[in-house]
């Protein structure tokens, strides 16, 4: 079979049962596909269904229609080259749970205002670079002590450690790329073991934010550029790359990667991505590459 559909359930629920797999298989065969024997990657959590004769989009849509109300993520793709050699991951709301400018805004009582700007930018409603300038401008005068204080709030996204440790342990290059700030991304890079990080810089004078980011601002084109540059520099075909993110500034790299995934993404991003994770955590990206439960590393 030249394609595979991976069904992934939330680990806490572990409700990927035989009926769900059979329902997805019947939906594919109902459209004329040939299907192979399902292969369990993690009992109750993840299963591969080999198929041929349908496009990935058709297979995903058919399986989704057959599983109404089931909290199961579906990723269909070619079988060849599933294990990727390059991971490029967004940071905020993808690898970590926070949006760091919102955390800084919380210190000065303007979180709601910053959150609204962030959401509109991530949904593609306003220019990302302009939104960065506007949000940073509202934080003028904050001290570097505030940056340290909010970094203590950082919580890793479930599955983030496993994703990086497993891919890196199997020879993949892992790069963190953020429209946020180097002050935070460098620390997250070191905590998780990413090989490198790319992010924006905040302008500081006498230990305080001036209200201006350092230009040029790392935006969607820079994120795409990171994917292409890293792939070229390390002689990795684009088909063997994985990109993941949640916002509009992630969309170009998601659409360009061999496997591009919208992770709990903003509506406009999820609608345009070829693959999406809505219900499960970042270990889903490992199951999508065919890793089995006992192959997943946690450190």
For position 32, which CATH number holds?
3.30.70.260
Residue 132 pLDDT > 90 = yes
Which of 23, 54, 80 is the last residue in one of the domains? 80
Q: Are residues 230 and 130 in the same domain?
A: yes
Tell me how far apart the alpha carbons of residues 299 and 287 are, in angstroms, rounded to a whole number: 17
Q: Are residues 90 and 64 in the same domain?
A: no
Q: Are residues 132 and 62 in the same domain?
A: no
Q: Are residues 41 and 187 in the same domain?
A: no
Q: Residue 289 is part of a domain; what is its CATH number?
A: 3.40.50.1000
Residue 284: closest CA among 7, 3, 2, 4: 7
Residue 299 pLDDT > 90 = no
Domain that holds residue 67: 1-80
Q: Are residues 228 and 263 in the same domain?
A: yes
161 DSSP 8-state letter = H
Q: Are residues 76 and 94 in the same domain?
A: no
Using alpha carbons, list the distances in angstroms from residue 169 to 174, 204, 289, 299.
Answer: 10, 37, 14, 9
Residue 192: closest CA among 169, 223, 162, 172: 162
Q: Are residues 130 and 168 in the same domain?
A: yes
Residue 3: closest CA among 73, 77, 71: 77
Mean pLDDT of 156-180: 98
Residue pair 139/210 in contact by the 8 Å Cβ criterion: no
For residue range 235-285, list pLDDT tens digits in order. 999 999 999 999 999 999 999 999 999 999 999 999 999 999 999 999 999
Q: Are residues 172 and 57 in the same domain?
A: no
Q: How confident is the model at residue 295 (pLDDT cuts 50, 70, 90)?
A: very high
For residue range 177-230, list pLDDT tens digits in order. 999 999 999 999 999 999 999 999 999 999 999 999 999 999 999 999 999 999
Mean pLDDT of 76-105: 97
Residue 101 pLDDT > 90 = yes
Q: What is the pLDDT of residue 252?
A: 98
Q: Are residues 235 and 286 in the same domain?
A: yes
Q: How confident is the model at residue 117 (pLDDT cuts 50, 70, 90)?
A: very high
92 DSSP 8-state letter = B
Which of 46, 80, 114 is the last residue in one of the domains? 80
Residue 84: closest CA among 273, 230, 246, 299: 230
Q: Are residues 118 and 259 in the same domain?
A: yes
Whole-number average pLDDT of the chain: 96
What region, left, alpha or beta, does residue 244 occupy, with left being phi > 0 and alpha being psi -120 to 50 degrees? Answer: beta
Please give the tally of structural domains in the chain.
Answer: 2
Residue pair 298/165 in contact by the 8 Å Cβ criterion: yes
Q: Are residues 117 and 237 in the same domain?
A: yes
The pTM (predicted TM-score) of the whole model is: 0.96
Mean pLDDT of 109-119: 94
Which of 54, 80, 106 is the last residue in one of the domains? 80
Burial 229-256 (b: 16+ CB within 10 A, else e): ebbeeeebeeebbbbbbbbbbbbbbbeb
Q: Are residues 180 and 288 in the same domain?
A: yes
**What are residue 68's phi and psi, to 5 degrees?**
-65, 135
Residue 140 pLDDT > 90 = yes
């Amino acid at each position: 079979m030249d394609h595979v559909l991976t069904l992934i359930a939330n680990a806490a629920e572990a409700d990927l049962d035989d009926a769900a797999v059979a329902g997805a298989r019947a939906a594919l065969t109902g459209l004329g596909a040939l299907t192979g024997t399902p292969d369990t990657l993690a009992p109750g959590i993840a299963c591969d269904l080999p198929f041929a004769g349908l496009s990935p989009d058709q297979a995903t849509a058919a399986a989704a229609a057959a599983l109404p109300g089931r909290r199961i993520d579906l990723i269909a793709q070619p079988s060849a080259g599933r294990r990727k050699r390059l991971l490029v991951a967004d940071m905020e709301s993808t690898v970590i749970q926070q949006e760091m400018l919102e955390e800084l805004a919380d210190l000065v009582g303007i979180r709601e205002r910053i959150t609204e700007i962030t959401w509109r930018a991530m949904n593609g409603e306003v220019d990302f670079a302009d939104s960065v300038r506007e949000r940073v401008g509202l934080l003028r005068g904050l001290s570097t002590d505030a940056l340290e204080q909010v970094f203590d709030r950082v919580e890793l996204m479930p599955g983030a450690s496993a994703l990086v440790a497993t891919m890196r342990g199997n020879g993949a290059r892992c790069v963190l790329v953020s429209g946020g700030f180097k002050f935070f991304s460098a620390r997250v890079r070191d905590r998780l073991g990413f090989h490198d990080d790319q992010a924006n810089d905040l302008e500081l004078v006498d230990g305080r934010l001036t209200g201006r980011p350092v230009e040029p601002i790392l935006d969607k084109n820079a994120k795409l550029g990171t994917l292409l540059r890293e792939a070229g520099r390390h002689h990795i075909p684009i088909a063997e790359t994985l990109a993941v993110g949640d916002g509009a500034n992630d969309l170009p790299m998601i659409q360009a990667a061999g496997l591009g995934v919208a992770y709990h993404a903003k509506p406009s991003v999820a609608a345009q991505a070829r693959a999406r994770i809505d219900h499960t955590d970042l270990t889903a990206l490992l199951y999508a590459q065919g890793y089995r439960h006992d192959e997943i590393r946690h450190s």
